[in-house]
């Protein structure tokens, strides 16, 4: 199985093959408009503007499974993101990333790069608590622990890294830049 074997729905419900992104560096993110990490949209958009001409794409998948922080329709979410953060990267249909109805794409990504923790510090300890409470309902199908988990896919279609929302966005940017120079 490869990342390019997956098909997803765009925000209008049209099927999109990830094969369309073959040869590009991808950052695949589950997002939410009402989350404490929602400001990540700003550095994500900055990265997109800086790197898209070098073959970089961000694939944004809204998800409402974490404290109902992505309410609204795909159009409402898209309008929020474009008006508040000026996002231009592709935004797809709202999905589940955990449980019986989890997106096969996110189940695959999480199997390739499993959760290793939120890191150290007070924010990490708080996230451990929130994620544990939220993910009890999903058992062994709790693939993603919170909003704004990011998966980096290299030009060969390999899942190269996973970044939890507590990872500094400068570190995410550095990993993207490094992946772009590898052919």
- Catalytic site residue 63? no
CA distance 170 to 16: 30
CA distances, 92 to each of 2, 18, 126, 130, 183 (Å) = 20, 12, 29, 26, 27
Catalytic, out of 35, 47, 109, 169: 35
Which has the closest alpha carbon to 1: 139, 122, 157? Answer: 157
CA 172 to chain centroid: 12
Q: Are 6 and 38 in contact (CB under 8 A)?
A: no
> Alpha-carbon distance 180 to 23, whole Å?
10
Under DSSP, is residue 114 helix (H, G, I), strand (E, B) or coil?
A: coil
Pull the structure tokens for residue 177.
Answer: 């830049």
Residue 107, CA distances (Å) to 40, 97, 174 in order: 23, 7, 25
Which residues does the annotation mark as catalytic?
35
């Amino acid at each position: 199985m490869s990342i390019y074997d997956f098909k997803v729905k765009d925000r209008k419900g049209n099927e999109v093959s990830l094969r369309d992104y073959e040869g590009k560096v991808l950052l695949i993110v589950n997002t939410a408009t009402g989350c404490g990490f929602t400001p990540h949209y700003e550095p994500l958009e900055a990265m997109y503007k800086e790197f898209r001409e070098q073959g970089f794409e961000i694939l944004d998948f809204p998800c409402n499974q974490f404290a109902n922080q992505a309410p609204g329709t795909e159009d409402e979410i898209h309008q929020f993101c474009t008006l508040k953060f000026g996002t231009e990267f592709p935004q797809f249909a709202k999905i589940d990333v955990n449980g019986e109805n989890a997106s096969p794409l996110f189940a695959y990504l999480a199997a390739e790069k499993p959760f290793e923790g939120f890191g150290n510090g007070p924010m990490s300890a708080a996230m451990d608590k929130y994620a544990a409470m939220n993910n009890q309902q999903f058992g062994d199908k709790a693939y993603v622990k919170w909003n704004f988990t990011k998966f980096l896919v290299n030009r060969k279609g390999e899942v190269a890294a996973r970044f939890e929302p507590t990872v500094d966005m400068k570190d995410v940017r550095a990993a993207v830049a490094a992946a772009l120079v590898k052919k």
